[in-house]
Amino acid sequence: MIIKACVFDLDGTLVDTITDIANAGNYALTQFGFPIHPVQSYKGFIGDGLFNLVKRSLPEEHRDDKTVSTALEMLTKHYSEHLLDNSLPYDGIPELLLFLQSKDIDLNIVTNKYDNQAKSIATALFPDITFKNVLGARKDSKIKPDPSDTMFCINMSNAKPNDCVIIGDSNSDILTGKNAGLTTVSVTWGFRSVKFLQQFDPDFMFHNVADLYSFFKTSI
């Protein structure tokens, strides 16, 4: 298999961000006097944009657009101020990225978190990695599973979809890859269960970074 480019998800794939996201979500809930959630509950809220995360975290009777929008503003402000309080790369990820970079494979991040937040995290936590693109949610952009940003990355590498791999921890990553014609790799150390991910039929599934590393070593 020839691999010219990789498209990585960020949250739950490269970086464990769940504590900082949960803290921001719970901060917003407390401003309304609503019940907060355990950190682990946010794994089920995350995956298709912050608006949907906030909506899922609110009590069912308070999920009107006005409340969601106000809570989203509160969450976003708090999260932007605390992006790196607890968030760290998963063990082995920096070494994996350095290996891929040494093989002249273009490395990209496509995420549904806000673009400025994604870029800040990538810069701070991966100072030795030169990503070709780091693309998050922007005005007028389309979030995953829409393949637009992923295809932009592939085109920037002058690659064909079947020369590229998308790696993520959610169904939106698998569907994005299928929509773009990429090889899909699911990782299970993030925010979704094995049983859940299997429903979407990824091409490969790995349960630890070492096995993902081995996959690339034998594929390049």
pLDDT tens for each residue of 118-145: 999 999 999 999 999 999 999 999 999 9
Closest Cα partner for 104 from 130, 79, 127?
Answer: 130
Burial 165-177 (b: 16+ CB within 10 A, else e): bbbbbbbbbbbbb
Query: Long-range pairs for 1-4 at CB < 8 Å and ≥24 separation?
Result: 1/183, 1/219, 2/163, 3/105, 3/163, 3/164, 3/165, 3/216, 3/219, 3/220, 4/105, 4/106, 4/157, 4/159, 4/160, 4/163, 4/164
- Tens digits of residue pLDDT in 45-70: 987 888 999 999 999 999 999 999 99
Q: Specify the pTM.
A: 0.95
Does 37 score more than 80 pLDDT? yes
- Reading the block at residue 200, the tokens are 């979407």
- Tens digits of residue pLDDT in 91-119: 999 999 999 999 999 999 999 999 999 99
Distance CA 84, CA 141 (A): 25
